[in-house]
Amino acid sequence: MNLLRFELPSRFHDYGLLVLRLAFGFSLMYGHGWGKMMRLFGPDEIKFADPFGFGPAFTLSFAVFAEVICAILVMAGLFTRTALIPPFITVATAFFTVHFSQEFSQQEKVILFAFAFLALFFTGPGKISLDGYLKNGK
């Protein structure tokens, strides 16, 4: 047995992509987007960072769209590559506007999100997804 040539059946590739989509999609939605959504629809005046000058309400709405709606689409594997663009923009913006000058331990989470989203963008969602289901017509 050669440990360097340890291989799994090809279907495990799709299970790996499913785990990646579910883990990062859920973490983004529950850990970041849910609280923002409660703020967006809450009774208080919207106060949120506005790095591009679109206004706090628009910026918070975009963040909620990216971190809740797009995260759900990524978990389901529906319109996956398109749905990955807003969350990537959101975490990249967070990195460059909030975390850039911080220590790596503070940057790590947004870096992991960004690279997971890039990996999924390049690989696609895999066969165990609604995109895979629609593509194969099953």
| In the predicted structure, residue 138 carries a pLDDT above the cut 80 | no
Q: Where in the sequence is the domain holding 98, given as residue range(s)?
A: 17-136
Counting the structural domains of the chain, the total is 1
**Residue pLDDT, tens place only, 10-20:** 789 999 999 99
pLDDT digits (tens, 9 = 90+) for 37-52: 999 999 899 989 999 9
DSSP letter string, 4-59: GG----THHHHHHHHHHHHHHHHHHIIIIIHHHHHHHTSSSPP----TTSS-HHHH
Q: Does 9 reside within a domain? A: no
Q: Residue 79 has what DSSP assignment?
A: S
Is residue 8 domain-resident?
no
Q: pLDDT for 110-123, tens place per residue?
A: 999 999 999 999 99
Rg of the chain over CA atoms, in angstroms?
Answer: 17
Q: What is the pTM of this model?
A: 0.89
